Amino acid sequence: MALEAVSLDSDGLKAKAKRIRELIIKITTEAGSGHPSSSLSATEVVTALHFGGFLKLDPKSPRDPGRDRFILSKGHAVPVLYAALCERGYFTEEQIMTLRKLGSPFEGHPNAAKLPGMEASTGSLGQGLSIGLGMALGMKADKTDGHVYVLMGDGEIDEGQVWEAMAAADKYKCGNLIGIIDVNGYQQTGATDAVLDMGPLAKKCEAFGWHTLEIQGNDMNEVMDALKKAKAETGKPTCIVSHTKKGAGILPLMEKWGDTNMHGQPLSADKAKEALEYLSKA
Amino acid sequence: MASATDDRSVSTTRPMGDATRDAFGRALEALGADFPEVVVVDGDVGNSTRTEWFALKYPDRAYNVGIAEANMVGVAGGLASMGKTAVTASFACFLLNNAFDQIRMAVAYPKQNVKLVGTHAGISIGEDGASQMGVEDVGLACSLPGVTVIVTSDGQQTRAATKAMLEHKGPVYLRLGRPKAPVIYEEGAEFEIGKSIRLREGGDYTIVANGMMVSMALDAADVLAKEGIDCRVVDMHTVSPLDEQALTDAASETGGIVVAEEHLAQGGLGSRVAQFLSATIPTRMAFVNIGDTYGESGDPAGLLEKYGLTSEKVADAVRSLRG
């Protein structure tokens, strides 16, 4: 199989997102640790990238130099990436069930040296956009037509390095660089607005010279539309400010359980069972 | 631009040659044609680190991302993952101290082919003062698994090391100085990563040195020879991985080892040599370095004198091993 993107229709995308959510819950509950709620908020974006016709990849040749790149800068959400790559044919469900276990390459945060599909080692927050910028500059230098997608969290953009990268990407007019900020409203100790209010994000991105789009990031149609517009913009980098809900897909359960953040908390076996039943009826 | 202070910055009997940063800059510029995959990422100090000479010749292969070392290192990591040999340079302190976690995450942990070049290392930069002096950099670089760490002593060695660094696949830290460096090697002298150079034979003691202290070590050996003390001098230009065979030979064939470096006492060459020998051939050792302190502003020669980086101090260290 050569490099290609996978394009599912609207129903197919929704089914795939549901399947990815199931895997996120299963593997984090099996691991007994991890960040399912941060993974669930980003599920539509990651699903659209992998199954909406964007990421040109070859699971049989995962290091093909001509591939598109996806960097999960919010590395703690790696279950969504393992799940998507599992569905893409990179890994089996059995393999990713070893998440966080001793000797498993499916570490708690992406390790680029250990596992194909991990384009950058992340988990120290704020660093993915810089690495993505380097990749975008490399593509431009070699005059290849790929794209680099970097998914960031709304907490990690507290890091100044993100804005260093924003300014440099504007300087070099990296139209092949697409940043997505998963604005799920929470970081480790509380609401992002309470920890460090970054103000109007879209205006900030625009002011840094980026083509900026603002969407409801758990609405697959809006995600697809924004990614298409981002790809069509070739003169400058695009930032998609993607408003989501932490735990999207099972949020009503999280509300019932009394915690709408659940940062770094896997579901107990009982809650996971309840969540999987809930998802199957959704 | 060379100034008068550069010329008198190192107290040695040897003639002054190129500053190691200048030799690196010229070598990189010259090697650009043979290594088309080399790109340079600069944090707006290219005219100090001398990557500017490459950038002027190959503007399409050079990026200046502003005063932003964290982003600079990340961008270098990204370029390396696209198949480039990414050279990124700054003052040693701003590169290693400021962007240490970025080096860990974007270079060392994923084993990227990034060449980290730290100039203005040590206290011999002089008047700009301690905030500009990289004195922890070797310790920091050596603490990162898989990173090759090289400290060159003169212009010729730096030119050869620059080529070896570009040929080597994987992360490298190359440490360079600001002032003119005393000439140690003849033009064309060979250089191999990880293989130290025995500059002087000797059976009584061994002085293991690198960087600017190689010249001091040779001068000290001259002085000691007149006292009947026969010193071996080893240029341990690669700090990680260490040339363990040369250290084993020195420990078994001579009566003690002095390690001389322009670095803090902790974390650098001395620490590494001591750790290796204490587990293999416990050996009497003495150390010449700046100690456990930061430097200050002042003329380079005065600083080197005040902080104990002289041939006299190296000779004293050897004498301290007797009896």
> If DSSP states are collapsed to H, E and C, what string results for chain A?
CCCECCECCHHHHHHHHHHHHHHHHHHHHHHCCCCHHHHHHCHHHHHHHHHECCCCECCCCCCCCCCCEEEECCHHHHHHHHHHHHHHCCCCHHHHCCCCCCCCCCCCCCCCCCCCCCCCCCCCCCCHHHHHHHHHHHHHHCCCCCCEEEEEECCHHHCHHHHHHHHHHHHCCCCCEEEEEEECCEECCEEHHHHCCCCCHHHHHHHCCCEEEEEECCCHHHHHHHHHHHHHCCCCCEEEEEECCCCCCCHHHHHHHCCCCCCCCCCCHHHHHHHHHHHHHC
> C-alpha distances in angstroms, A18 versus A25, A88, A220, B171, B174?
11, 14, 12, 41, 50
Confidence of residue B164 (pLDDT cuts 50, 70, 90): very high
Closest by Cα among A275, A127, A260 to A185: A260
The per-residue pLDDT for B13 is 79
- Tally of CA atoms within 13 A in the half-sphere of A231 that contains its CB: 16
Is B102 in Cβ contact with A137 (below 8 Å)? no
Confidence of residue B1 (pLDDT cuts 50, 70, 90): very low
Distance CA B130, CA B141 (A): 19
* Paired tokens of B65: 């991302």
Distance CA A8, CA B266 (A): 58
CB < 8 Å to B110, chain A: 111-113, 120-121
Confidence of residue B8 (pLDDT cuts 50, 70, 90): very low
Interface membership of B55 toward A (CB under 8 Å): no
- Beta-strand runs (E) in B47-95: 62-64, 85-91
- Closest-CA residue of chain A to B61: A141
For B15, which DSSP code?
A: P
Interface membership of B200 toward A (CB under 8 Å): no
* 3-state DSSP assignment of residue B45: coil
**Mean pLDDT, to the nearest integer, of B99-111?**
98
- Asked if A238 and A229 count as a contact pair (C-beta separation under 8 A), the reply is yes
CB < 8 Å to B106, chain A: 120-121, 127, 130-131
Residues 6+ apart with CB under 8 A from B93: B118, B120, B131, B132, B133, B134, B135, B136, B137
- Beta-strand runs (E) in B92-227: 114-119, 148-151, 172-175, 180-182, 197-200, 205-209
> C-alpha distances in angstroms, A160 versus A151, A163, A177, A194?
16, 5, 19, 18
B117-135 confidence digits (pLDDT tens)? 999 999 999 999 999 999 9
Tally helices (H) and strands (E) across chain B.
14, 14
A48-74 confidence digits (pLDDT tens)? 999 999 999 999 999 999 999 999 999
**Mean pLDDT, to the nearest integer, of B17-29?**
97
Looking up tokens 């070099």, which residue turns up?
A: A172
- Asked if B181 and B155 count as a contact pair (C-beta separation under 8 A), the reply is yes
**Mean pLDDT, to the nearest integer, of B269-289?**
98
CB < 8 Å to A112, chain B: 81, 109-110
Confidence of residue A42 (pLDDT cuts 50, 70, 90): very high
Is B105 in Cβ contact with A168 (below 8 Å)? no
Percent of chain B residues topping a pLDDT of 70: 96
The per-residue pLDDT for A1 is 60
Interface membership of B101 toward A (CB under 8 Å): yes
The per-residue pLDDT for B3 is 42
Domain A10-281 of CATH type 3.40.50.970: yes
Considering only CB atoms, A121 lies closest to which of B39, B71, B109, namely B109
Looking up tokens 């970054």, which residue turns up?
A: A198
The per-residue pLDDT for B9 is 52
Confidence of residue A2 (pLDDT cuts 50, 70, 90): confident
* 3-state DSSP assignment of residue B202: coil
ipTM of the complex: 0.94
- Report chain A residues touching chain B, CB-CB < 8 A: 65, 111-113, 119-124, 126-127, 129-139, 141-142, 160-161, 164-165, 167-168, 171-172
For residue B206, the cross-strand partners are: B232, B257
**Mean pLDDT, to the nearest integer, of A113-134?**
97
- Closest-CA residue of chain A to B72: A130
Residues A167, A168, A171, A175: is their CA dihedral positive or negative? Answer: negative
The per-residue pLDDT for B14 is 86
Is A130 in Cβ contact with B102 (below 8 Å)? yes
Is B71 in Cβ contact with A161 (below 8 Å)? yes
- Closest-CA residue of chain B to A128: B74
Is A112 in Cβ contact with B81 (below 8 Å)? yes
Mean pLDDT over each residue of chain A, to the nearest integer: 97
Mutate to test the interface with A, among B82, B85, B94 (most CBs of A within 10 A): B82
* 3-state DSSP assignment of residue B121: strand
CA distance, residue B130 to nearest chain A CA (Å): 25
Distance CA B257, CA B248 (A): 11
User: Cα-atom radius of gyration of chain A, to the nearest Å?
Assistant: 17
**Mean pLDDT, to the nearest integer, of B105-125?**
97
Distance CA B150, CA B161 (A): 8
Is A121 in Cβ contact with B79 (below 8 Å)? no
**Cα B93 versus chain centre, distance:** 13
Is B12's pLDDT higher than 90? no
- Closest-CA residue of chain B to A129: B74
CA distance, residue B69 to nearest chain A CA (Å): 9
B222-244 confidence digits (pLDDT tens)? 999 999 999 999 999 999 999 99
Interface membership of B105 toward A (CB under 8 Å): yes
Confidence of residue A282 (pLDDT cuts 50, 70, 90): confident
Interface membership of B10 toward A (CB under 8 Å): no
Domain residue limits, chain A: 10-281
A233-266 confidence digits (pLDDT tens)? 999 999 999 999 999 999 999 999 999 999 999 9
CA distance, residue A176 to nearest chain B CA (Å): 14
Cβ atoms within 10 Å of B11's Cβ, excluding its own: 17
Closest by Cα among A5, A165, A197 to B78: A165
Considering only CB atoms, B66 lies closest to which of A129, A131, A168, namely A168
- Asked if B237 and B198 count as a contact pair (C-beta separation under 8 A), the reply is no
Closest by Cα among A230, A122, A229, A120 to A176: A230
Considering only CB atoms, B75 lies closest to which of A113, A133, A139, namely A133
**Mean pLDDT, to the nearest integer, of A200-219?**
98
The per-residue pLDDT for B5 is 43
Domains and CATH numbers, chain B: 16-182 (3.40.50.970), 197-321 (3.40.50.920)
Q: Is B178 exposed, middle or buried (0-12, 13-18, 19+ CB in 10 A)?
A: buried
Considering only CB atoms, A141 lies closest to which of B60, B65, B70, namely B60
* Paired tokens of A33: 């640790």
Is A120 in Cβ contact with B106 (below 8 Å)? yes
Distance CA B175, CA B237 (A): 10
Distance CA B67, CA B23 (A): 24
* Paired tokens of A205: 């991105």
Confidence of residue B10 (pLDDT cuts 50, 70, 90): low
Considering only CB atoms, A65 lies closest to which of B66, B83, B104, namely B83
Closest by Cα among A45, A23, A49, A36 to A261: A36
Considering only CB atoms, A134 lies closest to which of B77, B101, B110, namely B77
pTM for this model (two decimals): 0.95
Vertex A143 angle, CA A137 and A146, to 5°: 70
Please indicate whether residue B37 is annotated as part of the active site. no
Mutate to test the interface with A, among B60, B75, B84 (most CBs of A within 10 A): B75
Considering only CB atoms, A127 lies closest to which of B84, B86, B106, namely B106
Closest by Cα among B253, B295, B293, B249 to B273: B249
The per-residue pLDDT for B6 is 46
* 3-state DSSP assignment of residue B322: coil
The per-residue pLDDT for B2 is 39
The residue annotated as part of the active site, out of B69, B136, B261, B262, is B69
* 3-state DSSP assignment of residue B142: helix
